[in-house]
Amino acid sequence: MKIGIFDSGVGGLIIAKAIRKAMPEYDYVYLGDTKRVPYGNRSHETVYEFTKQGVGYLFRKENCAIVIIACNTASAKALRRIQQEYLVENFPERKVLGVLVPTAEECAKYKKVGIIGTSGTVSSDSFVCEIGKINSKIKIIQNPAPMLVPLVEEGEKELALPFIKKYLKVFDGKNIEALALGCTHYPFYKSEIRKILGKNIKVISQDEIIIDKLKDYLKRHDEITKKLSCGKHAKILVTDITKNVEKLTKDWFGEDTKPELVKL
């Protein structure tokens, strides 16, 4: 059985690349819903339906033992329902994890943090809630950065810079100790963000923190780990093949890996 990674678009490829580099022995399947990206402005019900379709595909068609939802909007709006309803009714022996809680745990190490995310993630207050469960005294400043997802999907760096500066300006003078990139697309711009913020503000990038969390989870859940196949293979599935999907797949997974088109 495989490790599945689901995202609304290409952002989760950054997570998939990091996980595979750290644990190359396993077989992976990535599924990006590139036809319906972004999820950030969708309703809770729509995000749940889209996420359920993606997770269901990875379980039914690709025989995944565990699926990582590498999308903060889906983690915020759909994960709990997926775990408590969909899995219980359909795949009780399999697991679905998100990226939001591990990020909240990292944020909780600081006294004052900033968060940028999609409009859906920010409006849900999921980060505020999860961080508050750990330490309610932490001060949190959120700001939506909706334009970054479509810009990442287009592989655009230069045009993104004015938007990045605009979204980060909110944190000027707020004395934050760390900034969490609350969307798996955003690490695409982490070098630009770090340059703007300077060395005194820690940038929490999910591709850098999710690896240790997943390793720890697999160590604690041998019933999942022992099911995983070790063929060192990676498959990239998308609902719409774009030039950037093809480029990122080749750059990050090798010339022999090509994205495959699927329908949810």
Distance between CA atoms of residues 189 and 145, nearest Å:
12
Residue 45 CA, chain-centre distance (Å), reads 19
Q: Up-side HSE of residue 153: CA atoms within 13 Å toward CB?
A: 21
Distance between CA atoms of residues 92 and 226, nearest Å:
17
Task: Confirm if 100 and 130 have CB atoms less than 8 A apart.
Answer: yes
What amino acid is encoded at 225 in this protein?
Answer: T
What values do phi and psi take at 183, rounded to 5?
A: -155, 135
Q: List Cα–Cα distances, 171 to 115, 130, 168, 227, in angstroms.
A: 9, 21, 6, 45
Residue 230's Cβ-count burial label (10 Å; 0-12, 13-18, 19+) is: exposed
State the catalytic residue, choosing from 71, 107, 129, 230. Answer: 71
Structure tokens at 255: 């010339």
State the catalytic residue, choosing from 107, 129, 183, 230. Answer: 183
Residue 177's Cβ-count burial label (10 Å; 0-12, 13-18, 19+) is: middle
Residue 129 annotated to the active site: no
Q: List Cα–Cα distances, 79 to 6, 8, 74, 239, in angstroms.
A: 12, 13, 6, 21
Question: Quick count: other Cβ atoms within 10 Å of Cβ 222?
Answer: 9
Catalytic residue positions, numbered:
71, 183
